[in-house]
Amino acid sequence: MEKNPPLISLVLLCYNHEKFVAEALDGVLGQTYSPLDIVIIDDCSQDRTADIVAAKLASLHDHIRFIRNPQNMGLLIAREVGILAARGAFIVDTCDDDVMHPDMVAEMVEAWRAKAVSLVTTNQEYIDEHSRPLGRTFRDCNLPADDSFETLVRDGANACCNGDSMGFERQVFKNSRSRTS
């Protein structure tokens, strides 16, 4: 085990997923990687999502930041709020209707450090409303990952930019913000 592993931030975005948020939160809290900085953003959910998160966190002694937006800001702004609150040099971004495997962050950090890359994405395994696997994934695990810009434009996603559980160095976020300002 590494003597001083880097602090990794995990940002969980929440909005109107009361049926799924408890399981998503269990996945976040069950990560094997340490040290982990957890930031949870509720984007002014109109259902019980924020109440479920608050109740779950009340029983924990860990220092987890729960930010409740006073009005709905939309996914991009809510994500930015979470990233700006994050303290780690590497940030993993996920949503309240996604369930993380316990070693997901550890495996993402291992790939980030071993390959000296700035961005790491994961594949997704589709599940039904009862968390049973449906036997398919976002992309075929037997084919090379397509990270082309052409695929992103055509399909609205590629192996790098699919919106779920992406990890990136803080500098990637800073660089993208400076280009849009």
Residues 20 and 69 in one domain: yes
Contacts of 80 (CB under 8 A, 6+ apart): none
Residues 53 and 102 in one domain: yes
93 located within any domain: yes
Average pLDDT over residues 25-29: 95
- The rounded distance, in Å, linking the Cα atoms of 78 and 83 is 9
Q: What is the 3-state secondary structure (H, E, C) of 157-172?
A: CCCCCCCCCEEEEHHH
More confident residue, 47 or 141: 47
127 located within any domain: no
Predicted pLDDT at 145: 62
Residues 173 and 109 in one domain: yes
Strand order in the sheet with 166-169: 65-68, 36-42, 8-14, 90-95, 166-169, 119-121
What does R_g of the chain's alpha carbons equal in angstroms? 16
1 located within any domain: no
CATH of the domain at 62: 3.90.550.10
Please provide the distance, in angstroms rounded to a whole number, between the alpha carbons at the two ends of the chain: 41
Cα-based distances in Å from 123 to 12, 104, 108: 17, 11, 11
65-98 per-position pLDDT tens digit: 999 999 999 988 999 999 999 999 999 999 998 8
Does 138 score more than 90 pLDDT? no
Residues 64 and 145 in one domain: no
Residue 63, token pair as written in the block: 């220092």
128 located within any domain: no
Cα atoms in the 13 Å half-sphere on the side-chain side of 42: 21
Please give the single-letter amino acid code of residue 31.
Q
DSSP 100: -
- What domain range includes position 17? 8-122+164-180
- What is the number of structural domains in the chain? 2
15 located within any domain: yes
- The rounded distance, in Å, linking the Cα atoms of 102 and 29 is 9
Residues 175 and 149 in one domain: no
Residues 97 and 64 in one domain: yes
Residues 97 and 23 in one domain: yes
100-137 per-position pLDDT tens digit: 899 999 999 999 999 998 888 776 666 678 777 767 65
Residues 95 and 174 in one domain: yes
- The rounded distance, in Å, linking the Cα atoms of 106 and 5 is 11
